[in-house]
Every structure is written in C-alpha cells, then in structure tokens.
Amino acid sequence: MKVIKSYLFARNYPVWSDLLVVCSVFGSAFFLLLGRIGLIEPDEGRYAEIPREMLERCDFITPTLNYVAYFEKPPLHYWLTALSLKLIGMNEFAARLPGALAGLMTVLLVYGTVRAIWGRSEAINSAIVLGASTGFVVQSRINLTDMTLTFCLTAALCSFMIASYKHQRKKMYYYLFYLFCGLAVLTKGLIGVLFPACIILLYLMFNRSWHLLREMNLPGGILLLVVVTSPWFILVSQQNPDFAKFFFVHEHFERFLTTAHGRYQPLWFFVPIFLLTMLPWSFYAFRALWHGLQTRFQGETDPRFFLFIWVTFIFVFFSAVSG
C-alpha cells in the first residue's frame, strides 16, 4: 500500500512510466476475455453485422443491415469495426476491439490533458476515476458507437482546454478540436459538433472570454470540419436520394424535438443511471461538480468550471430530450 501511495503522489516519475502503468491496468480491464461471451442482441449484433456486410459488398459508403440501407448512424464506427474484422477475423473480440481501444485512448487522453494543466498526481487520479468507473468499463467492453463518440468528443474538448489554458502550440490544438468534432459527426451525427459548440459558447458567455473566438480561427476550423465530414455525406446522398431527409430530419430533429421515436422518459431518468455508472465514485462526482461551480465565483478563469459546464450541459440535454 505504501508503494502504491508513493507512486500515486510522487511528482518525479516520467510520462512514459505512467503511460505504461495506465495501459497495463486498464488494458487488462478493457481487453481481458473481451471475446469470451457472444454478442448481445440486438445492438451488438447490429453493429457487427453492418460492417460485416460492408466487407462482403465492398461498399463502405452505404451502410446496410440485412442488406437493407441503414442510415441511423454515420459510418466511422462501422469502418473501424470492419477494419478490425478484416485484420483479426469474424469473431466477438474483433467486433468489440474498436470500443475497447477507444476506451483506453480516452483514459490516456484524460491523463495527458490533466497532466498538462494541473500536474502528475491529478492526472493519475483522473485516469483512475474514469477508467475504473463501472459504466465506462462496461461501455468499453461492448460493441456500440458510444465509446467511439466519447473518445472523439473528449479529444475535441480536451484540445480546446489545452489551447485555452496553455500558451504553446495553440493553433495546433484548435485545429485538433475541429478535426475531432468532424470525427464525432462521422460517428453519431450533428451532436458531434452541437455538443462542443454549446459547451464552449456557454463557457465563453459565463466567463466573458469572447476573445477566445478570435484565437480559434473559426473560418479555417469550419473549413477543416467541412473537409472531414462532407465527402461521405455527399457520396451517400448521391447513392441514396432519401438519405438527407431520413438522417437529418427523422434521426435528429424528430428524435430530439418530438416523441416520434417513442422514447419518452421522466426528467429524473438519468439521475439513477448517473449514480450507477459512476460507481464507486458516484458521490465524489457531485462534490467535484460543486467545486467546479464554485470556481466560477472565485474571480479568475478556472478549467474546472469548463468541466462543470461540460458535464452539466450533456446531462441536462439528454434529460430534457428524454422528457
């Protein structure tokens, strides 16, 4: 126990040793016996069959399920799963590998971001809290689009944080922000850019930090976002004239603004889900959110307030939509 404590709170260990420990511990949690049980129906089966059919048909533009066009999600997660199936084989491990890799990379990303802004001890603790959360471990071990989206959104918002609070290579980190927003759009649609945009705008509004908009090079960033996302949307629309109406209207506006999908839940629905998925850190999470809110009133900008807005916005958004 003393050895563990001395490692966690020491400040003189190099980055590579921490990365080795994080990869070893959480690599075991995410990858060990990953393919032991069969795919869970219907979702895991669906997200394995679509990339399998892509490989069989040699068509990576139009996703199909049971050979019928399937436009509920963009293709990035399908592409990653198809690559895994091609390289490893048609088995459960290969189908789940992209999600496990996304989970591990998200933990590493959080470690790197926190270390850059706050320091080593905070980075190690953050990696442990995220990587050992019940919901995060479960999501990393199943074949869904959620963990791929989580990685892309985390990478985008962490890039913004580093660019905002560090004075080196700002332009590079802002362009990484736009790049990962584009990849998030290719994973799950418009929320890939809607969520980061709303979170950042709320942060700028409350902190009165509108000068950051000038630093972000919006014209160049939007151009990069279009370059990343538009090729697939153009190609799939050319092959399928009804795609745009189904994807943008039915899967976005009707899903979030109407009850057309029949997924009504009470406003408090995500509270117990949050408590369960954050175990064993559930009540510490509320304390962390409270500290993040308090920093808003301490007279100076603090990255913890940005984290507070990040978590709160997504939670409130899905609670409002579900109701």
CB-neighbour burial class of residue 187 (10 A; exposed 0-12, middle 13-18, buried 19+): buried
Where does the pLDDT of residue 160 fall: very low under 50, low under 70, confident under 90, or very high at 90 and above? very high
Summarize pLDDT for 62-115 with one digit per residue, the tens.
Answer: 999 999 999 999 999 999 999 999 999 999 999 999 999 999 999 999 999 999
Instruction: Give the other-Cβ count within 10 Å of 161's Cβ.
Output: 21
| DSSP structural state of residue 145 | S
CB-neighbour burial class of residue 6 (10 A; exposed 0-12, middle 13-18, buried 19+): exposed
Distances (CA, A) of 195 to 182, 214, 315: 12, 20, 11
- Same domain? For 311 and 213 the reply is no
Please state, in angstroms and rounded to a whole number, the distance separating the CA atoms of residues 239 and 234.
Answer: 9
Question: What total of structural domains would you count in the chain?
Answer: 2
Q: Which tokens hold the place of 141? A: 């071990």
- Same domain? For 237 and 283 the reply is no
- Same domain? For 178 and 227 the reply is yes
Where does the pLDDT of residue 236 fall: very low under 50, low under 70, confident under 90, or very high at 90 and above? very high
- Same domain? For 225 and 267 the reply is no
- Same domain? For 221 and 296 the reply is no
Does 247 reside within a domain?
no
- Same domain? For 233 and 295 the reply is no
- Same domain? For 175 and 44 the reply is yes
Instruction: Give the other-Cβ count within 10 Å of 142's Cβ.
Output: 19
Does 254 reside within a domain?
no
Does 253 reside within a domain?
no
17-21, 107-111, 301-305, range with the lowest pLDDT: 301-305
**What is the pLDDT at residue 201?**
96
Whether 163 and 210 have beta carbons less than 8 Å apart is answered as: no
Does 12 reside within a domain?
yes
- Same domain? For 232 and 306 the reply is no
- Same domain? For 268 and 160 the reply is no
Percent of the chain residues past pLDDT 70, beyond the cut: 91
Does 297 reside within a domain?
yes
Q: What is the average per-residue pLDDT within 222-245?
A: 96
Helix spans in the chain (H): 2-9, 15-31, 43-57, 76-88, 92-117, 120-131, 134-140, 146-165, 170-188, 191-207, 211-215, 218-239, 243-244, 255-257, 270-277, 282-294, 303-322
- Same domain? For 79 and 174 the reply is yes
- Same domain? For 82 and 26 the reply is yes
Instruction: Give the other-Cβ count within 10 Å of 259's Cβ.
Output: 9
Task: Give the domain range for residue 8.
Answer: 2-241
Q: What is the average per-residue pLDDT within 149-166?
A: 95
Whether 263 has a pLDDT exceeding 70, the answer reads: no
Query: Which contacts qualify for 60-69: CB closer than 8 Å, 24 or more apart?
Result: 61/232, 61/235, 61/236, 61/239, 62/236, 62/239, 62/240, 69/240
Helix orientation angle between 146-165 and 303-322, rounded to the nearest 10 degrees: 150
**What is the pLDDT at residue 111?**
97
- Same domain? For 14 and 52 the reply is yes
